[in-house]
């Protein structure tokens, strides 16, 4: 489905962040000259590999009480450059819980649509099914492409809906299986459904299932946030994101939330002072070590 950005879709709408109050520009003497000229390549040696501290506890679903705060505290400790970003923005907010089949159906219907148009189509679809509680695999399979076309759903999306419903009816997928699968297995199974690619799967895992350690490497806005955070002159490639964000494990979902917030203010006046202030607050060696394991400087 290509690269996408959560800011350009309404599959999983996010609340707008408040206008940040950016820290003042530090003096020239406090700046640290660590900004790379361009991304060269990922390091092939083990000498600069980013290391993380092993966690004894396994992170819980982010809907669990206090888990988001635990994630925030962990990110502050594991990657201190995130602290000013965390201070500027509210805690992560996720979609209200819906059964996975309904959430996935909604994801398909909202693809490539503005929020208003997506809401209109979804409302018509609910009415056609007999209400949201009646959005069930058998009921969706019973709807013909003609019926769906009459409420504004394209033939392609109709085929996506039927493929999802068919996999449920054949017990390839179920709400129970989806909730119990590990992240890797879930990603594999969902991307087998027509119309559900890696980006849609990541958004579903983050905003609907609230999985704590999802890294949406194909999301452009997320990558732009990482670019700003680490002062990279080029947008990091999806293949580099695993290495750049390794220190955020096992809470990469929460790290991604703050990268989306950061990407929203990337073009705002004074954003450079935010990054420079972060640089001045950390020891020179610490900053270089956090990035040197990922990129070579030229």
For the chain, the structural domain boundaries read 6-94+214-292, 100-208
DSSP secondary structure string for all residues of 134-152: G--HHHHHHS-HHHHHHTT
**pLDDT digits 0-9 by tens, 93-116:** 888 899 999 999 999 999 999 999
CATH number for the region 6-94+214-292 comes to: 1.10.1670.40
The domain covering 100-208 belongs, at the CATH homologous superfamily level, to: Hypothetical protein; domain 2 (1.10.340.30)
CA distance 147 to 162: 13
Measured distance CA(273)–CA(65) in Å, rounded = 35
What is the pLDDT at residue 109?
98
d(CA 87, CA 285): 24
| Of residues 34 and 80, more confidently modeled | 80
- Left if phi > 0, otherwise alpha if psi is -120 to 50, otherwise beta: which for 195? left
The DSSP output letter for 19 is P
Indicate the range of 50-54, 78-82, 91-95 predicted with least confidence.
50-54
Distances (CA, A) of 62 to 128, 237, 244: 33, 27, 22
Q: What average pLDDT does the segment 57-74 reach? A: 88
Percentage of the chain modeled with pLDDT above 90: 63
């Amino acid at each position: 489905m290509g690269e996408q950005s959560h800011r350009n879709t309404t599959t999983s709408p996010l609340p707008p962040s408040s206008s940040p109050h950016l820290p003042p520009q530090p003096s020239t003497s406090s700046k640290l000259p660590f900004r790379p000229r361009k991304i060269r390549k990922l390091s092939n040696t083990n000498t600069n590999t980013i290391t993380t501290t092993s966690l004894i506890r396994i992170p819980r679903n982010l809907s669990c009480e206090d888990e988001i705060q635990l994630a925030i505290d962990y990110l502050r400790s594991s990657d201190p450059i995130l602290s000013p970003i965390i201070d500027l923005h509210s805690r992560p907010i996720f979609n209200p819980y819906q059964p996975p089949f309904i959430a996935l159906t909604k994801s398909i219907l909202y693809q490539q649509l503005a929020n208003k148009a997506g809401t209109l189509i979804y409302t018509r679809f609910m009415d056609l099914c007999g209400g949201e509680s009646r959005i069930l695999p058998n009921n969706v399979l019973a709807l013909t492409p003609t019926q769906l076309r009459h409420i504004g759903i394209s033939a392609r999306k109709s085929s996506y809906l039927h493929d999802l419903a068919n996999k449920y009816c054949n017990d390839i997928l179920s709400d129970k299986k989806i909730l119990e699968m590990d992240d890797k297995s879930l990603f594999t199974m969902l991307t087998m459904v027509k119309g559900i690619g890696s980006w849609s799967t990541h958004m579903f895992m983050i905003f609907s299932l609230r999985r704590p350690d999802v890294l949406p490497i194909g999301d452009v806005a997320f990558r732009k946030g990482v670019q700003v955070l680490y002062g990279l002159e080029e947008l990091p490639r999806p293949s580099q994101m695993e290495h750049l964000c390794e220190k955020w494990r096992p809470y990469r979902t929460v790290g991604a939330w703050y990268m989306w917030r950061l990407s929203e203010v990337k073009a705002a006046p004074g954003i450079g002072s935010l990054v420079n202030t972060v640089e001045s607050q950390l020891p020179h060696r610490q900053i270089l070590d956090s990035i040197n394991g990922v990129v070579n400087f030229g």
